[in-house]
Amino acid sequence: MAKMNFGGVIEEVMTREEFPLDKARETLKDETIAVIGYGVQGPGQACNLRDNGFNVIVGQRQGKTYEKAIKDGWVPGETLFSIEEAADKASIVMCLLSDAAVMSVWPTLKQYLTPGKALYFSHGFAITWSDRTGCVPAKDIDVIMVAPKGSGTSLRTMFLEGRGLNSSYAVYQDATGKALDRTLALGIGIGSGYLFETTFQREATSDLTGERGSLMGAIQGLLLAQYEVLRENGHTPSEAFNETVEELTQSLMPLFAQKGMDWMYANCSTTAQRGALDWMGPFHDAIKPVVEKLYHSVKTGNEAQISIDANSKPDYRVGLEKELAALHESEMWRTAEVVRQLRPENN
């Protein structure tokens, strides 16, 4: 493990130097890895493992996703099977189904988790709220997690570019004495940049908070609020969108992603610097109580229950599509389509 100083806090992380790909391959040389589910995380993790030389198969039900797996090179009867067949053949079962699907498949899946196998997740949801999901693994298997800090699409794209997406990892249950090595080897195998330790509970709590907060929910709310105020005060859709979203995503985000917020500030005008420094405090003070309320809702299991209840409705997908369609048809995001078409690379 490498000791790193994170703003004065020393934290141990695992990099590819401490746990190189050759070591990961050696660790898992006798293992058959089954990726169960080929939706969001499945394609990226499965394809990266395959390209890195691991013995990996895919378990997926028939349908559009099954056909996508075939297009990605998985061969029915050789490397592509039903969920049951794949789980039966595997020594490591990577459960990459959606949280709702995990609950529905669990009664079937657990039959194939025989002693000595490893059950792998990329999200702590099912185990953290096992009293609600029903996912309670037997004591004679390893239960482990590697959670990439981004989408499966990003994981695959960055892998193909020779980069890595950072991931957290955790061992919930070590029945074999080799759970940690299995975990780290899988983390390197799927193409992680570096790995930092967490627990299932901490990952699930931070993940749900992040999704509802700065990663998705809060960012949409903030952008829409500013866009609306500009429009209500006579600014055109193009001007409101460019000042709210386009400049953020195309100019400023790459700057602070590269070297930090202070470096991004230093590369803006003195007028922008002064305003940003003056207004970050009021925004922080207004938003922190909302984040605290959100975190409490997540930690108490309320958000998990809302998700479980929503995903359990027979017409959930229909309702979700309606909500997403309304978001897509809003003026701000219809404006986004036009702005993207006008970018130089599209002309």
Cα–Cα nearest to 146, from 119, 115, 110: 119
Residue spans of the domains in the chain: they are 2-198, 210-346
Please determine, for residue 148, whether its predicted confidence score (pLDDT) is greater than 90. yes
State pTM to two decimals.
Answer: 0.89
Its CATH class, for the domain covering 2-198, is alpha beta
Residue-level pLDDT at 100? 85
Residue-level pLDDT at 150? 87
Residue-level pLDDT at 294? 97
What share of the chain in percent tops pLDDT 90? 87
Cα–Cα nearest to 86, from 130, 64, 55, 41: 55
CA distances from 127 to 66, 110, 173, 229, 298 (A): 26, 13, 11, 43, 15
Q: What is the distance between the alpha carbons of residues 91 and 89, in angstroms, rounded to a whole number?
A: 7
What is the mean predicted confidence (pLDDT) over 248-277?
92
Residue-level pLDDT at 314? 87
* SS3 state at 325: helix
Q: What is the distance between the alpha carbons of residues 304 and 282, in angstroms, rounded to a whole number?
A: 31
> In degrees, to the nearest 5, what angle opens at C-alpha 293 toward C-alphas 308 and 291?
100
Residues that are catalytic: 123
**pLDDT per position as a tens digit, 46-93:** 999 999 999 999 999 999 999 999 999 999 999 999 999 999 999 999
- Mean predicted lDDT score pLDDT of the chain: 94
Q: What is the distance between the alpha carbons of residues 250 and 333, in angstroms, rounded to a whole number?
A: 16
Q: Which two tokens stand for residue 101?
A: 């699907």
* pLDDT grade for 7, boundaries at 50, 70 and 90: confident
Q: What is the distance between the alpha carbons of residues 253 and 170, in angstroms, rounded to a whole number?
A: 30
Q: Which fold has domain 210-346?
A: N-(1-d-carboxylethyl)-l-norvaline Dehydrogenase; domain 2 (1.10.1040)
Rg (CA), the chain: 22
Residue-level pLDDT at 102? 92
* pLDDT grade for 346, boundaries at 50, 70 and 90: confident
When mean pLDDT is compared across 20-24, 209-213, 262-266, 330-334, the lowest value belongs to 262-266
Residue-level pLDDT at 303? 96
Q: At what angle do helices 217-232 and 331-342 cross, to 10 degrees?
A: 90
